[in-house]
Amino acid sequence: MFIVDTHAHLDFPEYKDDLDAVLKRAQEHNVGCIITVGTDLDSSRRAIALANQYPHIYATVGIHPHEAAKVTEAHWIELAKLISSDKVVAVGEIGLDYHKDESPRDVQKDVFTRQLKLAKEHKKPIIVHDREAHSDCLAILKQVMGNQIKGVAHCFSGSAEVAKEYLALGMYISVAGPITYPNATALRDALKAAVPVESLMLETDCPFLAPQAMRGKRNEPAYLTHHIKELAKLYKLSEADIARISTLNAQHLFGIDISRPAGRGSPEAAHQCDKPGVSPAKSGVKKNTPAITYAIRNSLYLNITNRCTCKCYFCVTHFTDYVKGHNLRLESEPSSDEIIAAIPADVHTKYREVVFCGYGEPTLRLDVIKDVCRHLKKNDMIVRINTNGHANLIANRLVAKELKGLVDNVSVSLNALSPKEYQKVCQSQFGEEAFDKVLEFILDAKEHLPYVEVTTVMRPGVDVKPFQEFAGKLGVDFRARIYNEVG
């Protein structure tokens, strides 16, 4: 479990006597990469020096809003030079702070604006400090940077509505120690309501904001594990899921190559990312090896093909190679033996179920499913297939009986209630005929397999109640799936 602390202040005096010990503890807690953030020119210089000294540390440069009143023209010349320094991955932290107002607000706005222009000129992501200044921060960001911004709202403390505005601009949301505080209910509610985990990053903001278990102590990167525990509960994922996804997000934004955490990243490549969750393959950053098996929560998923007989307009494959931090864009289809070899020997004790899912329609490889299921059933594993229900069309026969004793659960995606609407939404290669064949598969599966459910994606403007009633008429269970939430 590899973690990135995307916002630390390791150059601060709190670490002058024991920084090496702090870094050692961080690595013992799997914090393999730290971004140390500049707050003024001196701090930015120190951040760069640390990044040059330690291979797993990266730097940012910027003028904090508290320091805005001290900026001279000489500062701008020096800042422009520092931005081009080796291992500088972003401009930050920059923004507005109307809580303390240590610099006049008009000066804060001017300094923020000029730094945004520098970031844009140098194609660097930004780290935004927004404290009780949401409206002005967002207005300036839109005015200077446009509608697609490569950056992160650092130590987020706003509402769900504010979070949605940042996400609409293409930015990430980062959370620090307050996520663990008992009185942070509003923050947790805002994240749950508005921020998908694919847009989330982790930070300590150390030496400040230690998590609840360490309140009153100096914060440090090793304490990120406390954030992960809280976020895993909030998003109903495993701690490994949160670590993996947030690390991938950091890679996307800052261009850090997580396949070799001590290596040098490519922030210029990160700047090319189209949106949060975009694949490194599309950004120029080295991507993870495609996964044949991948874990989410306590289920093990099998990715056996990227081919599909549908082209649903909302399908995640149109937008990214990744689901919950796993690269699923296969370079070639694995054989039965390769899939079996990729399944851990302790699968029956480690996971609740094995799921054929991945980035394509698994029943396109029916013989492979059978081979792998025979292996899994030696340990009495529960097996589920997530499918579009085209198995009978693909095989040109009724197939559910062939899966009896091998497959326990079938989850069939049904996102329309008529042949015409089905073709409009799902764009099946079989045309409108596919709808009736999906119903045929559902009814046949109900006869031969222990459990069958119908699922529907809760797309904007779609009432799921008729789908639930339709599933009831078919005599199977129903599950609504959250729109834009995969895995």
Residue pLDDT, tens place only, 403-434: 999 999 999 999 999 999 999 999 999 999 99
The per-residue pLDDT for 259 is 57
Residue ranges of domains in the chain, CATH in brackets: 3-283 (3.20.20.140), 293-482 (3.20.20.70)
386-419 b/e (C-beta count within 10 Å ≥ 16 → b) = bbbbbbbbbeeebbbebbeebbbbbbbbbbbeeb
> Which one has a higher pLDDT value, 1 or 152?
152
- Arithmetic mean of pLDDT, 56-60: 97
Encode pLDDT of 144-201 as tens digits: 999 889 999 999 999 999 999 999 999 999 999 999 999 999 999 999 999 999 999 9
Q: With 90 as the cut, is the pLDDT of residue 257 above it?
A: no
SS (H, E, C) the chain: CCEEEEEECCCCHHHCCCHHHHHHHHHHCCEEEEEEECCCHHHHHHHHHHHHHCCCEEEEECCCHHHHHHCCHHHHHHHHHHHCCCCEEEEEEEEEECCCCCCCHHHHHHHHHHHHHHHHHHCCCEEEEEECCHHHHHHHHHHHHCCCCCEEECCCCCCHHHHHHHHHCCCEEEECHHHHCCCCHHHHHHHHHHCCHHHEEECCCECCCCCHHHCCCCCCHHHHHHHHHHHHHHHCCCHHHHHHHHHHHHHHHHCCCCCCCCCCCCHHHHCCCCCCCCCHHHHCCCCCCCCCEEEECCEEEECCCCCCCCCCCCCHHHCCCEECCEECCCCCCCCHHHHHHHCCCCHHHHCCEEEECCCCCHHHHHHHHHHHHHHHHHHCCCEEEEECCCHHHHHCCCCHHHHCCCCCEEEEECCCCCHHHHHHHHCCCCCCHHHHHHHHHHHHHHHHCCEEEEEEEECCCCCCHHHHHHHHHHCCEEEEEECCCCC
Q: What is the model's pTM? A: 0.89
- Range from 43-52, 360-369, 478-487 carrying the lowest mean pLDDT: 478-487
pLDDT band at 487, cuts 50/70/90? confident
For a pLDDT cut of 70, what percent of the chain falls above it?
A: 94
pLDDT band at 267, cuts 50/70/90? very low
